[in-house]
């Protein structure tokens, strides 16, 4: 938990990956381009002394991930958002099955999301059902720009995509996370067009659409849609690290988001291992809106707002009882491993031992 002004803020990192971009796993040049592009984003927005080497960036493994997230209690929980890219990587880049290695070892700490691709037809439908059955997933991460054979992407408002959304609704998979972010080579820019979210969100009002990366570089289209659809949320991955080396831009983007969506519909995410919560959480928690933006937009990045964005909003979407979790973390394996039992000790004075 992050300590600020004498309070503890429970942090749910709503966007993490356990990926494998090792050379042995790459089967298409797109796979190499993809990880190189990620690495550019990593070095662009990571303080120089904390940047990783390319080799460890390709494949960092479960142990390092657990340390980075939890060793210093940078995050208290994390949500896995898979990215399959099966045409680029032999075993996939970051699939639900790969993520499950960690998620099933520490089920109290991780939420495991699934995915679907409407181009997979009946087989894809079975895969979704299987994921739901095996892991009881409550959310899916969708990558509309994924290449599949000749196809360079799909849209959320396609007829076939609607069939999958219906299935999600039927299975109680309520949280839909479409990736709508910066162009990542070799994927097409147009495949990250955010406008398809509009129709899907109004057609499936019972589902929540958490648009990852707040549509950057289509923040304008995203905010306009979110302003009209109450079940559209914004995932802050990519926007968050602006706090570190573009604080003025962070202030401005955050002000816009708070003005258009309000403090109840934004979720913090590090996008690990693009960026690492062990420094990013602090940057975001300590960031301030400029006086000028506060006056212009009439919004605040204060403790109450941060509590919601850093954890409470995600907890609500995923039915996480934060108080129950804190109690659980006084003695779970992660806390024992890193000596965090006291960290999660009750804030109330301990009862007398009688």
Partner 1 sequence: MTGRTSDGPSREAVRDRLDRVTDPELDRSIVELEYVDAIEIDGDRVTVHVTLPTAWCSPAFAWMMTSDAREEVERLPGVARTRVFLREHMHDAEINRGVNAGLPFEDAFPDADGAVDAVRAELDRKARIARQYDAVEALLEAGLNPETIVSLRPRDLERTNRGDRVAVYLADRAVGVSVPAAPIDDYLEKARETGAVDAPTDVLFRTPEGEPIDPEAFDLVHRRARLTQVNMSGQGGICDGLREAREKRLERTPSVRRRSGLLLDFE
* Site of interaction with partner 1 (CB under 8 A): 33, 37, 40-41, 43-45, 152, 182-186, 188-190, 216-220, 223-224, 238, 242, 245-246, 249, 252-253, 256, 259-260
Largest CA distance in the chain: 71
Q: Which residues in the chain belong to E strands, given as ranges? A: 2-4, 7-9, 12-16, 77-80, 110-112, 139-142, 175-178, 208-212, 232-235, 266-267
CA distance 137 to 127: 12
| Nearest CA-CA partner of 197 in 181, 173, 185 | 181
Query: Closer to partner 1 at the Cβ: 163 or 195?
Result: 195
Give φ, ψ of 305 to 5 degrees: -65, -45
Query: Closer to partner 1 at the Cβ: 240 or 314?
Result: 240
| Least distance between partner 1 and beta carbon 242 (Å) | 6
Report CA-CA distances (Å) from 234 to 18, 133, 214, 260, 268: 22, 28, 5, 11, 9
Query: Closer to partner 1 at the Cβ: 41 or 338?
Result: 41
How many residues are recorded in the chain? 354
Cβ neighbour number for residue 154 with a 10 Å cutoff: 20
Query: Closer to partner 1 at the Cβ: 18 or 21?
Result: 21
Is residue 139 within 8 A of residue 80, CB to CB? The reply is: no
CA distance 294 to 272: 30
Query: Closer to partner 1 at the Cβ: 249 or 336?
Result: 249
Is residue 116 within 8 A of residue 161, CB to CB? The reply is: no
Query: Closer to partner 1 at the Cβ: 55 or 108?
Result: 55
The position carrying tokens 């059955």 is: 133
CA distance 80 to 256: 27
| Least distance between partner 1 and beta carbon 50 (Å) | 14
| Least distance between partner 1 and beta carbon 40 (Å) | 6
Non-local (6+) Cβ contacts of 337 within 8 A are 66
| Least distance between partner 1 and beta carbon 75 (Å) | 24
b/e sequence 325-338, b meaning 16+ C-beta within 10 Å: bbeebeebebbeee
Query: Closer to partner 1 at the Cβ: 151 or 203?
Result: 151
| Least distance between partner 1 and beta carbon 52 (Å) | 13
| Least distance between partner 1 and beta carbon 38 (Å) | 10
Query: Closer to partner 1 at the Cβ: 252 or 263?
Result: 252
Q: How far apart are the first and last CA of the chain?
A: 30
| Least distance between partner 1 and beta carbon 25 (Å) | 21
| Least distance between partner 1 and beta carbon 228 (Å) | 11
| Least distance between partner 1 and beta carbon 279 (Å) | 16
Eight-state DSSP code of residue 351: P
Query: Closer to partner 1 at the Cβ: 191 or 207?
Result: 191
């Amino acid at each position: 938990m992050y300590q600020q002004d004498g309070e503890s803020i429970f942090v749910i990192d709503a966007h993490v990956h356990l990926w494998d971009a090792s050379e042995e796993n790459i089967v298409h040049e797109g796979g190499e381009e993809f990880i190189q592009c990620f690495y550019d984003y990593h070095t662009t927005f990571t303080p120089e002394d904390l940047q990783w080497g390319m080799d460890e960036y390709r494949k960092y493994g479960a142990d390092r991930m657990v340390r980075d997230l939890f060793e210093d209690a940078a995050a208290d929980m994390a949500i896995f958002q898979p990215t399959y890219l099966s045409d680029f990587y032999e075993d996939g880049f970051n699939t639900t099955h790969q993520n499950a290695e960690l998620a099933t070892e520490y089920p109290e700490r991780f939420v495991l999301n699934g995915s679907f691709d409407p181009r997979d037809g009946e087989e894809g439908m079975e895969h979704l059902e299987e994921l739901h059955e095996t892991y009881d997933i409550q959310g899916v991460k969708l990558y509309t720009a994924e290449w599949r054979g000749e196809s360079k992407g799909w849209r959320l408002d396609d007829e076939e995509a609607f069939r999958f959304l219906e299935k999600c609704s039927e299975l109680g998979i309520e949280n839909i996370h479409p990736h709508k972010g910066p162009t990542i080579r070799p994927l097409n820019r147009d495949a990250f067009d955010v406008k398809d979210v509009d129709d899907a969100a109004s057609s499936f009002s019972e589902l929540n659409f958490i648009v990852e990366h707040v549509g950057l570089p289509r923040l304008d289209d995203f905010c306009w849609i979110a302003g009209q659809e109450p079940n559209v949320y914004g995932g802050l991955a990519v926007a968050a690290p602006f706090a570190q080396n573009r604080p003025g831009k962070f202030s401005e983007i955050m002000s816009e988001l708070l003005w258009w969506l309000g403090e109840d519909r934004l979720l913090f995410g590090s996008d690990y291992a693009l960026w690492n919560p062990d420094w990013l959480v602090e940057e975001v928690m300590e960031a301030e809106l400029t006086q000028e933006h506060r006056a212009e937009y009439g919004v605040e990045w204060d403790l109450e707002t941060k509590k919601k964005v850093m954890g409470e909003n995600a907890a609500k979407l995923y039915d996480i009882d934060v108080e129950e979790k804190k109690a659980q973390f006084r003695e779970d394996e992660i806390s024992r491993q890193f000596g965090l039992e006291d960290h999660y000790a009750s804030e109330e004075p301990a009862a007398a031992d009688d």
